[in-house]
Chains A and B, each alone.
Chain A
Amino acid sequence: MPYTITKQGNDVLTLMEGVLSFHQHKEADEMVNKIGHHLDDGAVTAVRFDLAKVYNMDSHWLGIIIRVLRRCREKNIPLIVEKPSTEVKRLFEVVQMDKVIQIK
């Protein structure tokens, strides 16, 4: 699962691509830790996920997003999901995550 994490101003932006499944659990853990380090460093105004190139994701990855969301909530920082495909957006809606995160 290729992903890149960058700082854009004070936002932490994570770009992901491909199909996200539990097979990439190691990369997922690594990604959560890296975002966590950014959050611990302070001065973060938002955590953003760019999912434009994500074709599909499974429930394991919903769990990963929830883990990041919990970290964001501890810091009172919004989590924003950007450009999800129709299918991925529907997945967020099924589990009602669209009510607690911003989807753009």
Chain B
Amino acid sequence: MSTASAQLPGSASVDAMASEFAHSKVLIIDDDPVIRLLLRGVANKMGIGLIVEAENGEKGLAEAERVKPDVVLLDIMMPGMSGFEVCRKLRAAPCFNNTAILIQTGLERNEQRIECFTVGASDVVSKPLNISELTARLKTHLRNALYAKSLAEFRERMNIHLELAKGFISSVLPDLESSQKIVSAYNYDLDVAHHPHEEIGGDLWYCLPYDEDQCLLVLVDASAHGVAGAMSALRIDSFLRESDKYFNTPGILLNVLDTATSRIPSGTLFAAITAILLNRHLGVVSYASSGNPPPILCKADGIDFLPTSGMPIGSGMIDNTQLDVVMNAGDSLIIHSDGWPGSETDKAALLNPILADGPLKAEIVHQQATKQSDDSTIMILRRK
């Protein structure tokens, strides 16, 4: 049985606190009805919205499960289950991870007080209780609980927004298997590795059939990362889809996109973009590339880094030239965003064994080559 000797805090500040803790919940577990009455009085004065009492450990655990308190005021020396055991059991349950457990104890020895923290107490107050100190500590833990709750709600909201944004990006990205079937009909094999650096990113890729003879492949790397990158990428997506009449002329397409994106008033929409036009019958692909690293042409006798022209679209300064490159059966063409750093020598050394034979392996190139701090997309195309 514990005793208490203290003055209740003055009521001057109680009104101000009343609304602050109106939605807070406190559970008092103590076998002494006088202490419970005293603690209830303190909690009432603080304007705590829900105050629940339990006279022993077993009932205390049941009440904790029922009300999910923000703070538990827990006595140590109780008949039956001790406060230590109650504390251990509460901490063992993940749903009480964020619950503050404030132990009141008459135990004076250091080791005993340390034991309180070892079993998971958030704080310890000595008996006889100093009500002013108890009030101050209770206030601190309740405020922490409010901050934690507010942070958790914010995170939950952000996660929902992020999921929605991911859905938007997913809806504009093509399905790889379907794209491989489409490209196969144009006498090419295709493989793509697409990895945002964070949960969401600013890289997009496309497989856009123009007619039965020609198909356009596009890689977009919008500036910035994360949600900002994704928003930029979606704006580029809109402009791109509105420009379908230029899908058979990659150079003009990029100039059109540059003009459109450079009119965005904030002047913050930029993207590197590479567009490659396949032709089912001709062993020549036409391409234009702005701001992306040079496309890599892998032939049996070596690797070439193809010329590109133009700054990122959105600059309003590009005058993109369309170039043609011969692709014989077995030749591969790789386009990638700037998430793959390194010198041309390094890239050639990496690609040679990977592209030697067999199926295309964009994921392997990605795993071995890309840096972790940027969105990364690698598209590999091979003429059948």
**Measured between C-beta atoms, what is the minimum distance from B289 to chain A in Å?**
9
On whether the beta carbons of B374 and A58 are closer than 8 Å, the reply is yes
Measured in the bound complex, the distance between the Cα atoms of B229 and A94 in whole Å is 19
On whether the beta carbons of A66 and B312 are closer than 8 Å, the reply is yes
On whether the beta carbons of A62 and B316 are closer than 8 Å, the reply is no
Contact of B267 among A58, A59, A67 (CB under 8 A): A67
B216-265: which have CB < 8 Å to A? 221, 223-226, 228-229, 262
Of B223, B309, B310, B312, chain A has the most CB atoms within 10 Å of the CB of: B223
Q: Which residues of A contact B (CB under 8 A)?
A: 22, 25, 58-60, 62-63, 66-67, 69-70, 73, 91, 94-97, 99-100
Considering only CB atoms, which chain A residue lies closest to B289 in the complex? Answer: A96
On whether the beta carbons of B312 and A63 are closer than 8 Å, the reply is yes
**B92 contacts chain A at the CB level, 8 A cutoff:** no
Measured in the bound complex, the distance between the Cα atoms of B307 and A99 in whole Å is 14
Residues of A within 8 A of B229 (CB): 22
**Measured between C-beta atoms, what is the minimum distance from A72 to chain B in Å?**
11
Question: Contacts A63-B312, A63-B314 hold; do A58 and B268 have CB atoms under 8 A apart?
Answer: no
5 contacts between A and B (CB under 8 A): A59-B224, A63-B223, A69-B317, A95-B272, A95-B311
Residues of B within 8 A of A22 (CB): 224-226, 228-229
**B338 contacts chain A at the CB level, 8 A cutoff:** yes
On whether the beta carbons of A59 and B315 are closer than 8 Å, the reply is no
Of A91, A95, A97, chain B has the most CB atoms within 10 Å of the CB of: A95
On whether the beta carbons of A58 and B315 are closer than 8 Å, the reply is no
**B179 contacts chain A at the CB level, 8 A cutoff:** no
Measured in the bound complex, the distance between the Cα atoms of B224 and A91 in whole Å is 15
Report the count of interface residues on B (CB-CB < 8 A).
Answer: 28
On whether the beta carbons of B317 and A100 are closer than 8 Å, the reply is yes
Residues of A within 8 A of B293 (CB): 94
On whether the beta carbons of A59 and B268 are closer than 8 Å, the reply is no
Considering only CB atoms, which chain A residue lies closest to B317 in the complex? Answer: A100
Residues of B within 8 A of A60 (CB): 223-225, 228
Considering only CB atoms, which chain B residue lies closest to A68 in the complex? Answer: B267
Contact of B312 among A25, A95, A99 (CB under 8 A): A95
**Measured between C-beta atoms, what is the minimum distance from B254 to chain A in Å?**
12
Question: Contacts A94-B291, A96-B291, A100-B317 hold; do A59 and B223 have CB atoms under 8 A apart?
Answer: yes
Contact of A95 among B224, B291, B316, B374 (CB under 8 A): B291
On whether the beta carbons of A70 and B267 are closer than 8 Å, the reply is yes
Contact of B315 among A25, A70, A91, A94 (CB under 8 A): A70
Considering only CB atoms, which chain A residue lies closest to B308 in the complex? Answer: A96
Question: Contacts A70-B316, A94-B291, A94-B338 hold; do A63 and B270 have CB atoms under 8 A apart?
Answer: yes
**Measured between C-beta atoms, what is the minimum distance from B226 to chain A in Å?**
8
New A-B contacts (5) at CB < 8 Å, excluding given A59-B312, A63-B223, A63-B314: A22-B224, A59-B224, A95-B290, A96-B309, A100-B317
On whether the beta carbons of B225 and A58 are closer than 8 Å, the reply is yes
Residues of A within 8 A of B373 (CB): 58
**Measured between C-beta atoms, what is the minimum distance from A29 to chain B in Å?**
9
Residues of A within 8 A of B316 (CB): 70
Measured in the bound complex, the distance between the Cα atoms of B223 and A59 in whole Å is 5
Measured in the bound complex, the distance between the Cα atoms of B320 and A99 in whole Å is 13
Measured in the bound complex, the distance between the Cα atoms of B270 and A96 in whole Å is 14
On whether the beta carbons of A66 and B221 are closer than 8 Å, the reply is no
Measured in the bound complex, the distance between the Cα atoms of B268 and A60 in whole Å is 9
Measured in the bound complex, the distance between the Cα atoms of B374 and A91 in whole Å is 13
**Measured between C-beta atoms, what is the minimum distance from B340 to chain A in Å?**
11
On whether the beta carbons of B270 and A62 are closer than 8 Å, the reply is yes
Question: Contacts A22-B225, A59-B272, A60-B223 hold; do A66 and B314 have CB atoms under 8 A apart?
Answer: yes
Measured in the bound complex, the distance between the Cα atoms of B225 and A58 in whole Å is 9
**Measured between C-beta atoms, what is the minimum distance from B310 to chain A in Å?**
6
